[in-house]
């Protein structure tokens, strides 16, 4: 599919997209009734915003593969896969305190991530919490809006470093459970489909290459989840378990005034 926007249009729109994202009002262009962007242009736009962010000093640490599991596909009303880009300044440590006022309709997702080795193969697998700006502005939800808004990705909570280098769950099946305030809101297998994480990484590599991007060694890849997205608010405690063992957590806390 060829982009329906010119390179100049993409670059101008990228400046607006980035301003809206930084102002906590992401994707405002999609609220305009005559706005039209196809999937190819949406990826061009995502990549143009990424270039602006990298130019400003941010660094890309990996990608997400989204809209693959049954619950997210039903929740969004569309079928993926799609990709989004992960940035280092939006990667938080385990037990992080997350201010929902810094997001637009904050929602979370519990899922598995993998790390790509020097040989291009998966070298680690671990659970994470993904943060989202859970908002669609167009009258009808589309893959183009989802892609152009970076898969509505807004950050990740990473487990401790020993988990980030673990190969245990590359070879072992387990139950992944998302708990909010101590209550099990969803339990599933590790991967969104029977093909495992290799299918997500293979699709991602092909998609990136079609846009002139290489999947670099050390990249974190969010492989998708069979669970859905869950809105959260101040006071919520979020934890992801593997076989009932808590691995990665965060606290949602409204913070007013200057951040500490």
Instruction: Look at residue 59 in the predicted model and tell me its pLDDT.
Output: 98
Say if 19 falls within a structural domain. no
Say if 247 falls within a structural domain. yes
CA angle 165, 169, 175 (to 5 degrees): 130
What's the CA gap between 37 and 84, in Å, rounded? 17
Say if 21 falls within a structural domain. no
For residues 122 and 115, the answer to whether their CB atoms sit within 8 Å is yes
Instruction: Look at residue 75 in the predicted model and tell me its pLDDT.
Output: 59
Say if 199 falls within a structural domain. yes
Instruction: Look at residue 66 in the predicted model and tell me its pLDDT.
Output: 86
Say if 72 falls within a structural domain. yes
Characterize 244-254 residue by residue with b for buried, 16 or more Cβ atoms within 10 angstroms of its Cβ, and e for exposed.
eeebbbbebee
Q: What is the pTM of this model?
A: 0.94
Instruction: Look at residue 259 in the predicted model and tell me its pLDDT.
Output: 40
Number of domains in the chain: 1
Q: Check whether the bond before 81 is cis (ω within 30° of 0).
A: yes
Say if 50 falls within a structural domain. no
The pLDDT tens digits along the chain (260 residues) read 788 999 999 999 999 999 999 999 999 999 999 999 999 999 999 999 999 999 999 999 999 998 765 665 565 565 669 999 999 999 999 999 999 999 999 999 999 999 999 998 999 999 999 999 999 999 988 999 999 999 999 999 999 999 999 999 988 889 999 999 999 999 999 998 778 899 999 999 999 999 999 999 999 999 988 888 999 999 999 999 999 999 999 999 998 754 43
Instruction: Look at residue 92 in the predicted model and tell me its pLDDT.
Output: 98
Instruction: Look at residue 194 in the predicted model and tell me its pLDDT.
Output: 79
| Structural domain range at position 181 | 60-252
CATH number, position 187 = 3.90.850.10
Instruction: Look at residue 76 in the predicted model and tell me its pLDDT.
Output: 57
């Amino acid at each position: 599919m060829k982009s329906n926007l010119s390179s100049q249009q993409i670059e101008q729109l990228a400046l607006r997209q980035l301003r809206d994202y930084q102002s906590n009002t992401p994707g405002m262009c999609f609220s305009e009734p005559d706005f039209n962007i196809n999937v190819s242009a949406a990826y061009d736009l995502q990549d143009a915003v990424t270039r602006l962010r990298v130019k400003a000093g941010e660094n890309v640490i990996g990608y997400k593969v989204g809209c693959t599991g049954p619950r997210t596909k039903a929740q969004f009303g569309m079928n993926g896969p799609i990709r989004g880009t992960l940035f280092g300044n939006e990667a938080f440590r385990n037990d992080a305190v997350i201010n929902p006022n810094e997001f637009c309709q904050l929602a979370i997702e519990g899922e598995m991530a993998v790390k790509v080795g020097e040989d291009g193969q998966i070298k680690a697998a671990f659970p994470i919490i993904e943060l989202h700006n859970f908002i669609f502005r167009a009258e009808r939800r589309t893959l183009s809006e989802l892609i152009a808004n970076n898969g509505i990705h807004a950050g990740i909570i990473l487990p401790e470093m020993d988990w980030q280098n673990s190969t245990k769950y590359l070879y072992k099946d387990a139950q992944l459970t998302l708990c909010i305030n101590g209550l099990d809101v969803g339990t599933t297998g590790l991967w969104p489909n029977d093909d495992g994480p290799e299918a997500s990484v293979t699709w991602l590599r092909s998609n990136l290459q079609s846009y002139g991007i290489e999947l670099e060694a050390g990249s974190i890849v969010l492989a998708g989840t069979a669970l859905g997205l869950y809105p959260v608010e101040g006071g919520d405690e979020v934890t992801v378990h593997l076989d009932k063992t808590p691995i990665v957590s965060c606290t949602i806390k409204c913070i007013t005034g200057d951040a500490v």
